[in-house]
């Protein structure tokens, strides 16, 4: 646990009592603060009370008397689409509002660091797609190289729940736009921006607000090194804002579609090969085509970003390459769950939107595609140009018939359930085919989460005959 600094003897309100909220309360108490807890959910309050915490209604009149700050969980709206009433009261009364990310950065460094030979560092990863894989890959590479490392944030543990730093440690944090948007302190040593595509637009009042939330990681903190994907205009803009010249190697530009040799430092992947260029010359190359845990151009972009971050930390190319080959990938993200009778089965249940599904469809040949669920605004018609590798689709869930209409004349079958889709795809698959679950839809019509959907797919595949 990271004891929170700066609030000793002060009352600090905590709104939202999920994983990060309870970890925040414990970290505040460890730092000498007096946490005042509340959640609008009776179930969440009950769990907190079972864990030994008392709850105080922050919505009542006078609740913020004597309170020094309000720490809110990332999922609670603090501005758009409508400000939470408790947050609105705090702001109206001039109470500083922060989140656990802000507390982490104000509390991470301690006097103990004066005795360390190597100062601990933080690598923070944000973006729309690929940030979880990139975060996990950086952590994996560091562990493979024998560097002390922890991983937290939007993946794994809450940021205040990790252990205090040891000599030379690197903490790798995945940060969502919900987390970067509100944090009052953002001071990463290395900041990574993967890419940008529409998501959470209601929470940020549009695409510009969404990008602005991501950009805060760079603009507020001024990282020593910025690793920036430049395959979208926003990334090109951000790299330009961060670099003082084209040769400025404090900015490492990353791409999975274009050569970037003209800059001071760049890493890009083309036709399955990762290349590192510095000052106009290639200095390293890695063949990514046989790295099973990183299939497709979107994962090659993740590999480039992770490679760039680890090179910034002083790791050699051959060390990073070896770690690539031992990376198994993340569950539900282009995860190969089995190969049976010459057929590969891939669980990409995390592909809950069109953009993520598009990346999966571009990553594999000879696809038998399982898709559907609770469709999102805008539909899936934009996927039509990417269906060249799809031999047949098997549609499930609430949007099955809508998908069939939007993607006509794609050969398809309305299966309704995952059981029927897996059975039909397996029965018709031939050696060399890939049965791909990439739903392009939310899971909530049939499952509690995309994880449960992916687990069901994997269990059904495991039950198929070898």
Ligand-binding annotation for 130, yes or no, is yes
Residues 6+ apart with CB under 8 A from 340: 426, 461, 464, 465, 466
> 3-state DSSP call for residue 83?
coil
Domain assignment present for residue 330? The answer is: no
Q: What is the pLDDT of residue 305?
A: 98
- Spatial distance between the Cα atoms of 96 and 287, rounded to a whole number of angstroms: 49
Domain assignment present for residue 6? The answer is: no
Same structural domain, 315 and 434: no
Q: What is the pLDDT of residue 159?
A: 96
Same structural domain, 164 and 256: yes
Ligand-binding annotation for 133, yes or no, is yes
Same structural domain, 264 and 123: yes
Ligand-binding annotation for 131, yes or no, is yes
Question: 164 has which bridge partners?
Answer: none
Q: What is the pLDDT of residue 355?
A: 86
Same structural domain, 256 and 130: yes
Q: What is the pLDDT of residue 424?
A: 98
Domain assignment present for residue 177? The answer is: yes
- Spatial distance between the Cα atoms of 299 and 131, rounded to a whole number of angstroms: 10
Q: Which tokens sit at 393?
A: 């689709």
pTM for the predicted model, two decimal places? 0.88
Same structural domain, 287 and 154: yes
The CATH number of residue 390's host domain is 3.90.190.20
Distances (CA, A) of 447 to 151, 152, 155, 184, 394: 28, 26, 21, 36, 18
Same structural domain, 126 and 274: yes
Q: Which of 76, 98, 120 is the last residue of a domain?
A: 98
Same structural domain, 85 and 134: no
pLDDT along the chain (466 residues), means of 10: 97 95 96 97 95 95 96 94 96 97 97 96 94 96 98 92 97 96 96 90 92 94 94 97 96 95 94 95 95 89 97 98 93 91 95 90 95 93 96 97 97 97 98 97 95 97 95
Q: Which residue's entry shows tokens 């696809």? A: 367
Same structural domain, 226 and 357: no
190-193 and 121-126 strand pairing: parallel
Domain assignment present for residue 5? The answer is: no
Domain boundaries, position 445: 335-462
335-340 and 281-287 strand pairing: unpaired
Domain assignment present for residue 458? The answer is: yes
Domain assignment present for residue 33? The answer is: yes
Instruction: Give the count of domains, the chain.
Output: 3
Helix (H) or strand (E) holding 195: none
Q: What is the pLDDT of residue 390?
A: 98
- Spatial distance between the Cα atoms of 198 and 164, rounded to a whole number of angstroms: 36
Same structural domain, 118 and 58: no
Q: Which of 41, 67, 98 is the last residue of a domain?
A: 98
Q: Which tokens sit at 241?
A: 């804002």
Alpha helices in 269-385, H assignment, sequence order: 296-312, 317-325, 354-361
Same structural domain, 259 and 359: no
The CATH number of residue 128's host domain is 3.40.1190.10
Same structural domain, 320 and 362: no
Ligand-binding annotation for 128, yes or no, is yes
pLDDT digits (tens, 9 = 90+) for 331-347: 898 899 999 999 999 99
- Spatial distance between the Cα atoms of 236 and 194, rounded to a whole number of angstroms: 12
The CATH number of residue 76's host domain is 3.40.50.720
Same structural domain, 318 and 345: no
Domain assignment present for residue 2? The answer is: no
Q: Which residue's entry shows tokens 């594999």? A: 364
Domain assignment present for residue 1? The answer is: no
């Amino acid at each position: 646990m990271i004891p929170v600094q700066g609030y000793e003897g002060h009352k600090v309100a905590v709104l939202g009592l999920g994983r990060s909220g309870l970890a925040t309360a414990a970290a505040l108490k460890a730092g000498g603060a007096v946490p005042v807890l509340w959640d609008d959910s009776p179930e969440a309050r009950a769990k907190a009370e079972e864990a030994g915490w008392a709850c105080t209604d922050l919505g009542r009149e006078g609740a913020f008397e004597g309170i020094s700050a309000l720490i809110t969980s990332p999922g609670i709206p603090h501005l758009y689409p409508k400000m939470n009433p408790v947050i609105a009261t705090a702001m109206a009364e001039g109470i500083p509002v922060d989140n656990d990310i802000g507390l982490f950065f104000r509390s991470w460094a301690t006097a103990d660091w004066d005795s360390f030979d190597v100062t601990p560092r933080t690598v923070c990863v944000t973006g729309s797609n690929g940030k979880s894989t990139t975060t996990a890959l950086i952590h994996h590479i560091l562990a493979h190289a024998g560097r002390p490392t922890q991983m937290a944030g939007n993946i794994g543990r809450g940021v205040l729940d990790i252990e205090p730093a040891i000599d030379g440690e690197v903490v790798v944090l995945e940060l969502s736009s919900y987390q970067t948007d509100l944090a009052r302190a953002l001071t990463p040593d290395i900041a990574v921006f993967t890419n940008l595509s529409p998501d959470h637009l209601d929470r940020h009042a549009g695409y510009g607000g969404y990008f602005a939330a991501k950009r805060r990681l760079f603009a507020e903190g001024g990282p020593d090194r910025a690793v920036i994907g430049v395959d979208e205009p926003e990334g090109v803009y951000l790299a330009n804002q961060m670099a003082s010249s084209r040769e400025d190697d404090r900015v490492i530009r990353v791409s999975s579609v274009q050569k970037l040799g003209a800059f001071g430092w760049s890493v890009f992947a083309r036709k399955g090969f990762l290349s590192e260029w510095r000052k106009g010359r290639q200095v390293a190359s890695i063949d990514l085509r046989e790295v099973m845990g990183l299939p497709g151009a979107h994962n090659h972009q993740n590999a480039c970003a992770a490679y760039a971050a680890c090179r910034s930390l002083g790791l050699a190319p051959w060390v990073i390459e070896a770690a690539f080959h031992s990376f198994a990938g993340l569950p539900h993200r282009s995860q190969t769950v089995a190969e049976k009778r010459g057929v590969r089965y891939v669980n990409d249940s995390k592909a809950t939107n069109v953009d993520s599904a598009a990346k999966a469809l571009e990553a594999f040949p000879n696809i038998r595609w399982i898709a559907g669920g609770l469709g999102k605004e805008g539909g899936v018609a934009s996927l039509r140009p990417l269906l060249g590798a799809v031999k047949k689709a098997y549609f499930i869930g609430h949007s099955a018939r809508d998908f069939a209409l939007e993607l006509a004349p794609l050969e398809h079958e309305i299966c309704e359930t995952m059981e029927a889709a897996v059975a039909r795809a397996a029965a018709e698959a031939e050696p060399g085919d890939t049965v791909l679950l990439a739903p392009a839809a939310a899971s909530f019509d049939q499952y509690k989460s995309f994880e449960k959907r992916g687990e069901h797919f994997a269990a059904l595949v495991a039950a198929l005959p070898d």
